[in-house]
Amino acid sequence: MDIRKLQEVVVAALEDIKGRDIEVIDTHKLTALFERIIIASAESNRQTRALARHVQDKVKEAGGTVVSVEGEETGEWVLVDLGDVVVHVMQPAVRDYYRLEELWSSTPTRRGRLTAEAVHPAGE
């Protein structure tokens, strides 16, 4: 499935069940493992699992493949691996603690965390 189409399906699925603070991060220049990370917040373990399940169902309906799913047992953070897209559905406290947006950002943060640009400057 085309990466743009897959991204649209995932975001729509997250919006269907009221996923909050949805963020799409283009990682194709940062890693060869996947092209996008999509992060969304959920209010409870139940909603986190429901969002992850809905993403899986909608991707399969659209002809995509679900590679694996992790974290459904606890529901605090569910990762859905779709190959070129990795979806993280997290409760706000977990999302705030791990700050994946900062980790995968290509620009330095004010906190001085390392970024892909700092580790691998352009041209290297």
Q: Which residues in the chain belong to E strands, given as ranges?
A: 20-26, 36-41, 68-70, 77-81, 85-90
Give pTM, 2 decimals. 0.83
Give the domain ranges of the chain: 3-92
Task: Name the CATH superfamily for 3-92.
Answer: Beta Polymerase, domain 2 (3.30.460.10)
Tens of pLDDT along 35-46?
999 999 999 999
Identify the pLDDT of residue 106: 60
- Pairing type for strands 85-90 and 77-81 reads antiparallel
**85, β-bridge pairs:** 36
